[in-house]
Amino acid sequence: MSDDLLIQTDGAVGRLRLNRPKALHALNLGMCEAMLAALETWRTDATIAAVLLDHAPAPDGDPKLSRGFCAGGDIRLLSESGAGDGAAARAFFHTEYRLNHRLFTYAKPIVAFMDGVTMGGGVGIALPCRYRVATENTRFAMPETGIGLFPDVGGGWYLSRLPGRIGQFLALTGHRLDGAEAYALGLATHYLPAAALAEVKAAIVAAPQGIEAALAAASVTPPAAGLLDHRADIDRLFAADTLEEVFAALEADGGDFATEQLAVLRTKSPQTMKVSLRLLYDGGLMQSFADEMVQEYAVACRVVQRHDFLEGVRAVIVDKDNAPRWNPATPEDVTDHVIDQIFAPLPEGEAWTPN
């Protein structure tokens, strides 16, 4: 078993602890496989009543290494694979999405502690859980359009179900929510001070049938959710399901908020912004989470081998010049035909399946 994931049982509670502090606990294939295996073992184990999902503290106590619950997935692996035959990237997505689905359908209660950076793949393992705890340290985002990717791991399902057009705003801009905002939007079920987490986890271990009571007892009133001050602006400016219309609305508005969001969108991949809008439109119509993952897998298998993802990783993660050269460079140049190709179902035998 890899040290990247700590698996243990504590009384009647199964514990999954992400343990890659120098990578902000970003998921790799081995971690996903190990979590799937543990969940399968506990599923039929009558002695296990609940599961806790969190990150292990940094071994040397360095606060900088304790900033993340889970910062995402193994982007370097995906990029290196995408530049070749894409086989390793497909294998990672296939397993990661099975983990997302397993968490979504798990019968026993799971508590995810989103204490720190919760982005991309971290969102994918937190949101399916029955209980989702935010703190003052939570930084929640789906920032994928900035590297030529899209909000996968169920993003099309979750974001499309947020109030108004907030999901579209988050998908396009990659805006970071704090814990209070995540709670206000229902992305978190509870808001706790980080200092209370150890005591709450101990209470759950002592009485796993009393999870709701333990979380409620430690919950505090969160600060005001600042993003909701812009709710009307977001619903109006991001009302369209076509990227060109969103840009037009932002350009025509001229206000500070619109101007700020327009500047943000001009740094993102036009191709994957269009992919994201299509994903949320389709996601709102999906009849099951499994259907969502089938589509996201087909899209991910194609996007990971396209120019914008490889270029985005180069600019943001490898060279760190933060000057990606997107191709196509403008929303108008991303044709409907290209988007349709990206969203086409995979051939039978290649498509994602939950088991």
Residue 58: predicted pLDDT: 77
Rounded-to-integer distance, Cα 14 and Cα 38, Å? 8
Percent of the chain topping pLDDT 70 = 98
Is the pLDDT at 1 greater than 60? The verdict is no
The one-letter amino acid at 300: A
Torsion of Cα atoms, 65 then 71 then 74 then 80, to 10°: -100
> Burial of 112 by CB count in 10 Å (0-12 exposed, 13-18 middle, 19+ buried)?
buried
- The count of other CB atoms within 10 Å of the CB of residue 291 is 14
Task: Please tell me whether residues 7 and 96 are part of one structural domain.
Answer: yes
Task: Please tell me whether residues 90 and 154 are part of one structural domain.
Answer: no
Domain membership flag for residue 61: yes
Count of the separate structural domains present in the chain: 2
Residue 57: predicted pLDDT: 85
Top-confidence residue, 67 or 351:
351
> Nearest CA to 114 among 126, 96, 101?
126
Q: Are 249 and 240 within 8 A, CB to CB? A: yes
Q: Which residues pair with 268 in a beta bridge?
A: none
Task: Please tell me whether residues 27 and 155 are part of one structural domain.
Answer: no
Task: Please tell me whether residues 211 and 330 are part of one structural domain.
Answer: no
Task: Please tell me whether residues 163 and 300 are part of one structural domain.
Answer: yes
Tokens of 270: 């036009």
Task: Please tell me whether residues 84 and 113 are part of one structural domain.
Answer: yes
Helices (H), 159-255: 166-173, 179-184, 197-206, 211-218, 231-237, 243-253
Rounded-to-integer distance, Cα 195 and Cα 279, Å? 38
Task: Please tell me whether residues 107 and 127 are part of one structural domain.
Answer: yes
Is the pLDDT at 64 greater than 90? The verdict is no
Q: Mean pLDDT, the chain, as a whole number?
A: 96
Domain span at 151: 146-174+226-355
pLDDT, tens digit, 9 for 90 and up, residues 117-147: 999 999 999 999 999 999 999 999 999 999 9
Give residue 49's pLDDT band: very low, low, confident or very high (50, 70, 90): very high
Task: Please tell me whether residues 156 and 204 are part of one structural domain.
Answer: no
User: pTM higher than 0.75 for the full model?
Assistant: yes
Least confident of 62-71, 77-86, 141-150, 182-191: 62-71
Is the pLDDT at 78 greater than 60? The verdict is yes
Tokens of 128: 């399916």
Mean pLDDT of 50-58: 93
pLDDT, tens digit, 9 for 90 and up, residues 283-325: 999 999 999 999 999 999 999 999 999 999 999 999 999 999 9
Domain membership flag for residue 180: no
Task: Please tell me whether residues 230 and 262 are part of one structural domain.
Answer: yes
Give residue 67's pLDDT band: very low, low, confident or very high (50, 70, 90): confident
pLDDT, tens digit, 9 for 90 and up, residues 326-355: 999 999 999 999 999 999 999 999 999 999
Task: Please tell me whether residues 56 and 152 are part of one structural domain.
Answer: no
Domain membership flag for residue 181: no
| CATH classification of the domain holding 191 | 3.90.226.10
Task: Please tell me whether residues 170 and 216 are part of one structural domain.
Answer: no
Task: Please tell me whether residues 52 and 190 are part of one structural domain.
Answer: yes
Q: Which residues are catalytic?
A: 73, 121, 144, 152
